[in-house]
Structure 1
Amino acid sequence: MIKILDRLLLFFYSIVIAVVAICTVLYATNVLDRSLLIGTEQWLDNAVIAGAIVIILISLRFFYISIRRDRASNHSIDLRNELGEIHISMETIENLALKAASRVRGVKDLKVKIRVTEAGLELVVRTFVDGETSIPGLTEEVQRQVRDHVTEVTGIPVAGVSVFIANIVQTQSFKSRVE
């Protein structure tokens, strides 16, 4: 809900800033009549002041968003044992999954996405295949290799491994030329 509100504020803010910038350029180039910008009514002055305060508050909100640390995103998984704490980066887990999946014959161009859940890690492996190997057998082997390797090396349970076959890699075949 907060992200939707922030997006709406950003949209409103960008529109207001664009209008103010356009008016400033028109005012500076004498295209806009200067008498229009000088308030003769008290309510108009109050409206301009209120608008300026709103813009300042929105600016402060966006400044806060830009400097705060996002606690929702995990850059590492933290474990604790009797000797102390262990921090395993998501990049390490991704590289372990890539290493395990690349051992399976027939897979090419691997990518891995990781999501941390209550049950453990959920990994999505996106790959191209050579088209020569049975896809159900190949994906099952990838799932097993990735799950076993990541669990064995990190000690973190893997809740599931999904495999997405993006396409088939075209292998180059060279025909021998006989004269």
Structure 2
Amino acid sequence: MAKILDRLLLFIYSLSIGIISVIAILLLTNVVPLSLNSTEEKNLLIVTLVVAVVLFLLSIRFFYISVRRDRNSLPSIDQRTEYGDIQISVETIQNLAYKAASRVRGIREVKTRIRITDAGMEVMVRAMVDGESSIPALTEEVQKQVHDHVEDITGIPVSYVSVYIANLVQSTTVKNRVE
């Protein structure tokens, strides 16, 4: 949503600056006559003309940025079947990976990211552990669960699952003291 708002604001800004700079260029190049008498005013005219041209070029650049489509981001993964096209959002795949990683006993506070590469889909999992289980065994189980679950549900091959263990979850239970 913020990206759309930024593009809209950039579009309005570039359009308004473009119109203002075209008017300034027309006035300063005497296409629309303007009477100037002194040398100081003519120097001011040259400086103003240069600034107007720079603003016009900037507004063209900003206008282009505001209307072009961002082709680098992949909001969905597209597949073609014999019946038609299928699009699965990256957010859906992240949620599937989250669900699979969260089911592993001992894993807490999971975050997932998906990256599409030439080799295939890569899933990055960031999690915290409870500290009561073997971390290598937990990470291997998370990798297996995420890989199998995402491939089974989406039909998209997963080339790589990386797991980053950020920290241990601190226990919030308070032990009662016996006196």
- TM-score class, shorter-chain normalisation, is 0.7 to 0.9
Instruction: Return the letter of the residue paired with 1:173.
Output: T
Unmatched runs of 5 consecutive residues or more in structure 2: 1-37
**Structure 2 partner of 1:113:** 113
**Structure 1 partner of 2:14:** none
Q: Partners in 2 of 1:135 and 1:177 — Cα distance?
A: 31
1:102-122 alpha-carbon deviations (Å, 9 max, x no partner) = 110111111111110111111
**Structure 1 partner of 2:32:** none
Q: Partners in 1 of 2:155 and 2:39 — Cα distance?
A: 69
* 1:123 match: secondary structure: strand
**Structure 1 partner of 2:49:** 49
**Structure 1 partner of 2:75:** 75
Unmatched runs of 5 consecutive residues or more in structure 1: 1-37
* 2:59 match: secondary structure: helix
1:29-88 alpha-carbon deviations (Å, 9 max, x no partner) = xxxxxxxxx962645522320221111221221132123221111000000010000000
Contact between 1:115 and 1:123, CA under 8 Å: does it hold in 2? yes
Kindly report structure 1 stretches of 4+ aligned residues shifted beyond 6 Å.
none
Instruction: Return the letter of the residue paired with 1:57.
Output: L
**Structure 1 partner of 2:175:** 175
**Structure 1 partner of 2:148:** 148
Segment of structure 1 superposing worse, 66-75 or 160-169 = 66-75
How far residue 162 of structure 1 moved from its aligned partner, in angstroms, is: 0.7
* 1:40 match: secondary structure: helix
1:84-141 alpha-carbon deviations (Å, 9 max, x no partner) = 0000000110010001001101111111111101111111101111111111110111
1:28-39 mapped onto 2 (5 Å cutoff)? none
**Structure 2 partner of 1:40:** 40
Q: Partners in 1 of 2:109 and 2:177 — Cα distance?
A: 31
Q: TM-score, normalised by structure 1?
A: 0.73
**Structure 2 partner of 1:58:** 58
* 1:163 match: secondary structure: strand
Q: Partners in 1 of 2:99 and 2:56 — Cα distance?
A: 50
Superposition CA RMSD, Å: 2.0
Contact between 1:39 and 1:45, CA under 8 Å: does it hold in 2? no
Q: Partners in 1 of 2:171 and 2:78 — Cα distance?
A: 42
**Structure 1 partner of 2:100:** 100
**Structure 2 partner of 1:157:** 157
